[in-house]
């Protein structure tokens, strides 16, 4: 038998189907959430069942998480993102002390003890320090998010971005580009601006190793490198960091039957 974890995020909906006996991922899927989160959830489940070659009655239990978790018709239970991200990350790195999740609309730092969350900080009040900040800036600079990491690595200097608000930071970079400042240096400054915010959140819960970074922004190796540099540590990144919450939800679903 299998369990299913679904994480309906503000940007993307993730499904993981997990084997109950072997704890192996039978399939996973990441699709945009769009404007109809319920429909995205149904589509994501459907696609992941097809991908795994399973029928829906082979799924013993489903746990939903993410901001859209309350509106999933096929879920048996919904569980907070803190619990699901912690559980997913622990399944990959058993001794973990800190999980950082940076998604599209919020960022979280979770402190663990003996594999269980004991403290967390969440920024869901402001887009700065989230994936949305980088998306807005990428659009303003007419580049793809995937280009951020290679630019970060090859560029030595950065331009400090002084605005703490996403809207003001966007005007600031438009003005910097207008002044003929090297775009690569601006991008490096933007990456540090998000990494600095996460660094201060980690400082507030207290740095302890090992640390894992999850969520879509963990795919931005520029942000990962800036954070590693700020914290002076190596950060563990799952092979597919974006599905960590859904994976944790699938593990928590194993406890339901």
Instruction: Single out the segment in contact with ligand ATP by CB under 6 A; choices: 154-162, 202-210, 216-224, 226-234.
Output: 216-224
- Helix 221-231 with 183-205: angle, nearest 10 deg: 50
For residue 31, the minimal CB distance to ligand ATP (Å) is 10
Residue in 18, 106, 155, 193 binding ligand ATP, rule: CB under 6 A: 106
Nearer to ligand ATP, 176 or 243 (CB): 243
**Structure token digits, residue 26:** 């039978």
For residue 8, the minimal CB distance to ligand ATP (Å) is 8
Contact call for residue 123 and ligand ATP (CB under 6 A): no
* Residue 33 · residue 8 · CB < 8 Å: yes
CA angle (74 as vertex; 71, 16 as ends), nearest 5: 95
Contact call for residue 248 and ligand ATP (CB under 6 A): no
* Residue 68 · residue 80 · CB < 8 Å: no
* Residue 45 · residue 31 · CB < 8 Å: no
Contact call for residue 147 and ligand ATP (CB under 6 A): no
Instruction: Single out the segment in contact with ligand ATP by CB under 6 A; choices: 101-109, 175-183, 190-198, 205-213.
Output: 101-109
d(CA 18, CA 24): 6
Contact call for residue 10 and ligand ATP (CB under 6 A): yes
- Coarse DSSP helix, strand, coil percentages of the chain, rounded to the nearest 5 percent: 45, 20, 30
Question: Applying CB under 6 A, which residues contact ligand ATP?
Answer: 9-12, 66-67, 103-106, 131-132, 134-135, 145-146, 215-217, 219-220, 242
């Amino acid at each position: 038998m299998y369990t299913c974890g679904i994480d309906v995020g503000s940007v993307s909906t993730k499904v993981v189907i997990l084997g109950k006996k072997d704890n192996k991922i039978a399939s996973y899927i990441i699709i945009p959430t769009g404007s109809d989160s319920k429909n995205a959830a149904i589509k994501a489940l459907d696609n992941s069942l097809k991908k795994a070659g399973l029928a829906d009655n082979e799924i013993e239990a489903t746990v939903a998480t993410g901001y859209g978790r309350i509106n999933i018709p096929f879920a048996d239970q919904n569980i907070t993102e803190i619990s699901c991200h912690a559980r997913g990350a622990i399944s990959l790195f058993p001794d973990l002390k800190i999980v950082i999740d940076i998604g599209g609309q919020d960022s979280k730092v979770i402190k663990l003890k003996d594999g269980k969350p004991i403290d967390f900080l969440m920024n869901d009040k402001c887009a700065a320090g989230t994936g949305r900040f980088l998306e807005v800036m990428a659009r303003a600079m007419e580049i793809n998010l995937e280009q951020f990491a290679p630019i970060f690595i090859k560029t030595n200097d950065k331009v400090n971005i002084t605005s703490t608000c996403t809207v003001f930071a966007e005007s600031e970079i438009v003005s910097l580009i207008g002044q003929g400042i090297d775009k690569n240096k601006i991008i490096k400054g933007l990456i540090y601006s998000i990494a600095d915010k996460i660094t201060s959140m980690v400082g507030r819960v207290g740095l302890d190793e090992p640390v894992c970074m999850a969520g879509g922004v963990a795919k931005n190796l520029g942000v990962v490198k800036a954070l590693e540099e700020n914290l002076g540590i190596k950060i563990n990144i799952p092979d597919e960091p974006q599905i960590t919450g859904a994976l944790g939800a699938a593990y928590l679903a194993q406890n339901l039957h």
